[in-house]
C-alpha cells in the first residue's frame, strides 16, 4: 500500500497537471451536439482550447463567457446569460456544458443558481438545449476530477429519476478520461459481441476520432446522445471504469436505482478476465470467439515481452487512476515502480499503487526521482526531463502534442494490454545500451547517446 506524500514546495516547477475545467470540458466533448462553455476570463479558454487542439489534432468547440474587469467586480451572471443565449442562437447546441473557473469560484458565485434563473427566465429561447453546470475551480483537482464532475453533473441534470422499464440487454458504461477513442470503440465492440447494448457516457469516440464532416461544425458531432443520458435509468447495470467514475456511478444509482460495478483498471490479464466474466454473466452468454482469441494473443505477448519488462525500474507520473492502471500492469509484468508522482492526493486509487510512496507533485519531482530509472512514463511535457536524464520516455495521458495518433492507441482489454506490452518492450529495446568497452570512462553512457 502506497503512502501519499504531499507537496511541500511553494513553486510548482514544470506542472504535471492540466486544469480541472479542461477535464470537464473534455467530458462535455463526448456528448453529441455539445459545446463546453468555460465561465471565467477568456484566457483560460484560449489556453485550454490550444492544448486540446494540440493533443487531438482536431478542431475543438469551446467557448468562454469572457469575464472582463467589470464582470469580475460585479459578478458574472449577466455574461453567463449573454453567452448562453448567443451560443444557442448561433450554433443551436443540444447541450451547453458550463465549466466554472477560478475567477468565478474565488468570488464564491452561485453559478448553479444563476443558471437556474436563466433557464427559468429564458425557457422559450432555450427550448431543446440542456444547460449543465460543473463546478470546477482551477485551484482544486485536475483533469480527472473535472471529468468526473462533468459526468456527474450531466447525470444529475438530465437522467430521468422516475421508474422506467429496465431493458435486460442495456448497460451503462462510464469510462474514465484516460480511455482513448480506440479504447472506447473496442469497449463498445466487445460489449456488443456479447449481445449487449451499451450506452457509453461520455463517448469521445464519435466526436474526437478525426472524422471529416461535410460542412463546418461549431458543435460536437457524434458522442453520447442526450436521449441516451435521459434514459440511463432503463439500463440493467452500470459499469464504471476508474475510481474517479465512482461519483457519477453513485449519482446514477441514487437517482435511478441502477446498480454499478467499478473496475479500477481494464488493463492486465486479471482485470480483463474479471470484466469479461461480468459481461458474460450480464448477457448470459459464452465469450465470443474473437474475445477468446484476443486473450490467447495477450498470453503470447506476455510470454514474449516479460523478459524485457522484468526488473525494469519505472518512473511514472500521471493522474491517479491512470497511475494505478499502468503501474499495476507494469508490476504485474515484473517491472518495479521506482517513482510515482501524481496530480492530486485525494483519490482512493493512490493507496493501491504498487509503489512505496506516491508523491503529489510536478515533473521536476519526477525528474529528481527518475535519474536511475530505465523508463519514464508520463505525458509529452516529460520530454525535457527525459532528455536531460537520458532516460527513454513512454508517452501516456494528456497532453500528448508531439506524437500523432494518441487517441488511436489501444490500452485496455486483452488487445490493449498487448499493445502496451509491445510499446514498452519496443522502447526498452530501442534504448538498449551495450556494455561500455571503456569501463574506466566514468562519463554517463546514456547521456552520450
Partner 1 sequence: MASLNAKITDAFHELASERSGSKDPRVRRRDCAKPMAPGTAVGGCAFDGAKVALQPITDVAHLIHGPLACEGNSWDNRGAASSGPTLWRTSFTTDLTEIDIVMGHSEQKLFKAIREIKEGYAPAAIFVYSTCVTAMIGDDIEVVCKRAADEFALPVVPVNAPGFVGSKNLGNKLAGEALLKHVIGTLEPDEPGLCDINILGEFNLSGEFWQVKPLLDKLGIRVRACIPGDARYLQIASAHRSRAAMTVCSTAFVTLARKMQERWDIPFFEGSFYGISGTSEALRRIADLLVRKGADPSLLHRTEILVAEEEAKVWKRLEAYRPRLEGKRVLLNTGGVKSWSVVHALMEIGMEIVGTSVKKSTLEDRERVKQTLKEENLLFESMSPRELFSLLLERKADIMLSGGRTQYIALKAKLPWLDINQERHHAYAGYEGMVQLARQIDLAIHNPMWPQVREPAPWEPALVVAKRAKREA
Among 18, 19, 20, 41, binds ligand SF4 (CB under 6 A): 41
Residues in contact with ligand SF4, total (CB under 6 A)?
A: 7
Of partner 1, ligand SF4, none, which one does residue 378 interact with (CB within 5 to 8 Å by kind)?
Answer: none
**Does 366 interact with partner 1 (rule: CB under 8 A)?**
no
Site stretch for partner 1 (CB under 8 A), options 8-16, 169-177, 193-201, 311-319: 8-16
Angle between helices 413-430 and 269-283 in degrees, nearest 10: 170
90 to 119, contacts with partner 1 by CB under 8 A?
A: 90, 101-103, 106-108
94 to 123, contacts with ligand SF4 by CB under 6 A?
A: 102-103
Residue 170 phi/psi, 5-degree rounding, is -90, 130
| Cα distances (angstroms) measured from residue 235 to each of 30, 223, 284 | 19, 18, 16
Among 22, 25, 44, 309, binds ligand SF4 (CB under 6 A): 44
Which is nearer to ligand SF4, 65 or 294 (by Cβ)? 65
Cβ at position 69, least distance to ligand SF4 in Å: 11
Cβ at position 129, least distance to ligand SF4 in Å: 26
CA nearest to 412, candidates 309, 325, 286: 325
- Identify the H or E element spanning 198: strand 197-200
The owner of cell 496530480 is: 343
**Does 139 interact with partner 1 (rule: CB under 8 A)?**
yes
Per-position x/- string for 46-85, each x denoting binding to partner 1 as judged by CB under 8 A, each - no binding: xxxxxx-xx---xx---xxxxxxx-xxx-----xx-xxxx
Q: Is 311 helix (H, G, I), strand (E, B) or coil?
A: coil
How far is 405 from 342, CA to CA, in rounded Å?
24
Which is nearer to ligand SF4, 51 or 278 (by Cβ)? 51
CA 16 to the chain's CA centroid: 14
Cis peptide before 440 (omega within 30 of 0): no
How far is 198 from 188, CA to CA, in rounded Å?
7
**Does 47 interact with ligand SF4 (rule: CB under 6 A)?**
yes
Residue 276 phi/psi, 5-degree rounding, is -65, -40
The residues binding ligand SF4 (CB under 6 A) are: 40-41, 43-44, 47, 102-103
Amino acid at each position: 500500500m502506497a503512502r501519499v506524500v504531499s507537496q511541500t514546495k511553494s513553486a510548482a516547477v514544470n506542472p504535471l497537471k492540466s486544469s480541472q475545467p479542461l477535464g470537464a470540458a473534455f467530458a462535455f466533448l463526448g456528448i453529441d451536439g455539445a459545446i463546453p462553455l468555460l465561465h471565467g476570463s477568456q484566457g483560460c479558454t484560449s489556453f485550454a482550447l490550444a492544448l486540446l487542439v494540440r493533443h487531438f489534432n482536431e478542431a475543438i468547440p469551446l467557448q468562454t463567457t469572457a469575464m472582463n474587469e467589470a464582470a469580475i467586480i460585479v459578478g458574472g451572471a449577466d455574461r453567463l446569460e449573454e453567452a448562453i443565449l448567443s451560443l444557442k442562437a448561433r450554433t443551436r447546441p443540444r447541450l451547453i456544458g458550463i465549466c466554472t473557473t477560478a475567477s468565478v469560484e474565488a468570488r464564491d458565485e452561485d453559478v448553479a443558481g444563476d443558471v437556474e434563473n436563466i433557464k427559468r427566465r429564458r425557457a422559450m429561447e432555450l427550448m431543446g438545449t440542456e444547460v449543465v453546470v460543473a463546478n470546477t475551480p482551477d485551484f482544486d483537482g485536475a483533469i480527472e476530477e473535472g471529468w468526473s464532475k462533468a459526468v456527474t453533473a450531466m447525470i444529475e441534470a438530465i437522467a430521468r429519476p422516475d421508474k422506467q422499464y429496465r431493458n435486460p440487454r442495456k448497460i451503462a458504461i462510464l469510462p474514465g478520461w484516460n480511455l482513448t477513442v480506440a479504447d472506447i470503440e473496442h469497449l463498445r465492440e466487445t460489449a456488443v459481441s456479447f449481445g449487449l447494448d451499451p450506452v457509453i457516457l461520455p463517448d469521445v469516440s464519435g466526436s474526437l476520432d478525426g472524422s471529416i464532416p461535410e460542412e463546418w461544425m461549431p458543435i460536437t458531432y457524434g458522442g453520447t446522445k442526450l436521449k441516451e443520458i435521459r434514459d440511463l435509468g432503463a439500463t440493467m447495470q452500470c459499469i464504471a471504469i476508474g475510481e474517479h467514475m465512482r461519483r457519477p456511478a453513485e449519482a446514477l444509482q441514487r437517482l435511478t436505482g441502477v446498480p454499478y460495478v467499478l473496475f479500477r483498471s481494464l488493463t492486465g490479464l486479471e482485470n480483463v478476465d474479471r470484466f469479461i466474466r461480468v459481461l458474460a454473466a450480464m448477457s448470459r452468454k459464452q465469450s465470443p470467439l474473437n474475445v477468446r482469441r484476443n486473450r490467447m494473443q495477450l498470453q503470447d505477448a506476455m510470454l514474449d515481452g516479460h523478459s524485457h519488462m522484468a526488473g525494469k525500474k519505472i518512473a511514472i507520473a500521471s493522474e491517479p487512476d491512470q497511475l494505478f492502471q499502468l503501474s499495476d500492469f507494469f508490476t504485474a509484468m515484473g517491472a518495479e515502480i521506482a517513482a510515482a508522482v501524481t496530480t492530486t492526493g485525494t483519490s482512493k486509487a493512490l493507496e493501491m499503487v504498487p509503489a512505496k510512496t506516491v508523491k503529489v507533485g510536478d515533473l521536476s519531482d519526477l525528474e529528481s526521482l527518475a535519474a536511475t530509472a530505465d523508463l519514464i512514463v508520463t505525458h509529452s511535457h516529460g520530454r525535457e526531463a527525459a532528455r536531460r536524464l537520458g532516460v527513454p520516455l513512454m508517452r501516456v495521458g494528456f497532453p500528448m502534442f508531439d506524437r500523432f495518433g494518441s487517441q488511436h492507441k489501444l490500452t485496455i482489454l486483452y488487445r490493449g494490454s498487448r499493445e502496451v506490452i509491445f510499446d514498452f518492450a519496443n522502447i526498452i529495446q530501442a534504448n538498449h545500451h551495450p556494455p561500455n568497452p571503456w569501463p574506466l570512462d566514468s562519463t554517463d553512457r546514456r547521456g552520450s547517446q
